[in-house]
Amino acid sequence: MAGVSSESLTAALVALEVKLPTASLQLATELFGILGTVDSSAGLRRALTDPSRSGDEKSALVNRLFGGKVSAEAVEVASGVASSRWASARDIGDALETLAASVVIAVAENKTAVSASGITGLEALENDLFSFIQVVESNHEVQRALSEQQASPAAKTALAGKLVPSASEEAKVLIGQAVSQPRGLKVTALVRRFAELAAKRQQRWIATVGVTRPMTAPQTSRLQAGLDALYGRELKINMNVDPELIGGIRIQVGDEVVDASVLSRLNQLRRQLA
Residues 170 and 227 in one domain: no
CA dist 167 and 115 (Å) reads 13
Residues 71 and 121 in one domain: yes
* Dihedral sign of CA atoms 196, 99, 106, 162 in order: negative
What mean pLDDT comes out for the span 175-182?
A: 96
Q: What is the model's pLDDT at position 37? A: 96
- State pTM to two decimals: 0.78
* Structural domains of the chain, count: 2
Domain finish residue from 202, 233, 253: 202
Residues 220 and 193 in one domain: no
Residues 192 and 210 in one domain: no
Domain finish residue from 152, 169, 202: 202
Please write the tens of the pLDDT for every residue from 12-39. 999 999 999 999 999 999 999 999 999 9
What is the domain range of residue 228? 205-273
Edge-to-edge strand list for the sheet holding 249-253: 236-241, 206-211, 249-253, 256-259
Domain finish residue from 141, 172, 202: 202
Residue 223 has pLDDT above 90, yes or no: no
Contacts for 263 with CB less than 8 Å, ≥ 6 apart: 244, 245, 246, 248
Please write the tens of the pLDDT for every residue from 82-135. 999 999 889 999 999 999 999 999 999 888 655 555 678 888 999 999 999 999
CA dist 109 and 105 (Å) reads 6
Residues 54 and 190 in one domain: yes
Residues 190 and 262 in one domain: no
For residue 243, name the pLDDT band (cuts at 50, 70, 90): confident
Residues 177 and 241 in one domain: no
Residues 28 and 62 in one domain: yes
Q: What is the model's pLDDT at position 269? A: 67
Residues 22 and 104 in one domain: yes
Residues 170 and 223 in one domain: no
Residues 35 and 170 in one domain: yes
Residue/partner pairs of 164-168 with CB below 8 Å, 24 or more apart: 164/128, 164/131, 164/132, 164/135, 167/128, 167/131, 167/132, 168/108, 168/121, 168/124, 168/125, 168/128
Residues 197 and 226 in one domain: no
User: How open is the CA angle 215-113-71, to the nearest 5 degrees?
Assistant: 125
